[in-house]
Amino acid sequence: MNEELLATFDEQGNRTGTAPRDEVHRQGLWHETFHCWFVRKADSGLRICLQLRSPEKRDYAGLLDITAAGHLLADETVMDGIREVQEELGLEIAFDELQPLGVIPYQMDSAGFMDRERAHVYVYENRYALSEFTPQVEEVAGIVEARFADFRSFISGADSNLHVQGFQINGNGERTGIDELVDFTHFVPHELEYFRRVIEGIERLYKEPEPEI
């Protein structure tokens, strides 16, 4: 992974060159990523899917994150990003099945790690049962779902917890159920503005109404 070359960009989105992945994060260089959010229509309303990152991951181990995501290499196009769905979730999905939300730039900085991404964000209307997901355990330790309306309230700060349901894979490769409340300490710390733009994009696609008060 240390030898992966990423394309680098300035703040306006102009390509400036290439650099190894570790250097990109050490220097805080802008680079491109692919994000795919799964949603599913259910009788109870729209649901959104999250991945549970593997406890073996170098960054943000064991936290909830985007359904499938990853870096775009210097020689890849955005369409090549669909490989992340196959690699992380074990599902065969065509790029033309995705609905684009556009490019969302955002930053996540921590000690020794500066992540400045131009994220190409897409939505996939999931038709797979959770039992059909076969995560790459080195990357993904489980999959959960939440009601989209609850996720929206959680991100907005109206609710301090989010109810998630799904499964995780233990060290023996066995699946165990997840049915619990989580808070922001359980999530990869993306900027709230990033989450808001994703939620707004999904609302435009599905016209999910605001809950009645």
Once rounded to an integer, what is the mean pLDDT over residues 83-108?
A: 96
* CATH number for region 5-206: 3.90.79.10
CA angle 170, 175, 181 (to 5 degrees): 85
The pLDDT tens digits of the residues spanning 16-57 come to 999 999 999 999 999 999 999 999 999 989 999 999 999 999
- At 213 the pLDDT is 44
Does 62 have pLDDT greater than 70?
yes
Contact between 203 and 104 (Cβ < 8 Å) = no
Once rounded to an integer, what is the mean pLDDT over residues 171-192?
A: 94
Q: Taking the domains of the chain in order of start, what are their residue ranges?
A: 5-206
Task: Identify the residue with better confidence: 161 or 171.
Answer: 161
Q: Which of 122, 119, 136 is nearest to 93 (CA)?
A: 122
Q: What is the chain's Cα-based Rg?
A: 17
pTM of this structure? 0.93
- At 108 the pLDDT is 85
Rounded alpha-carbon distances, angstroms, from residue 121 to 134, 169, 197: 22, 27, 10
As given in the structure block, the two tokens for residue 177 are 């159920």
Percent of the chain clearing pLDDT 70 (strictly above): 95
Q: Which residues contact 185 (CB under 8 A, 6 or more apart)?
A: none
- At 136 the pLDDT is 93
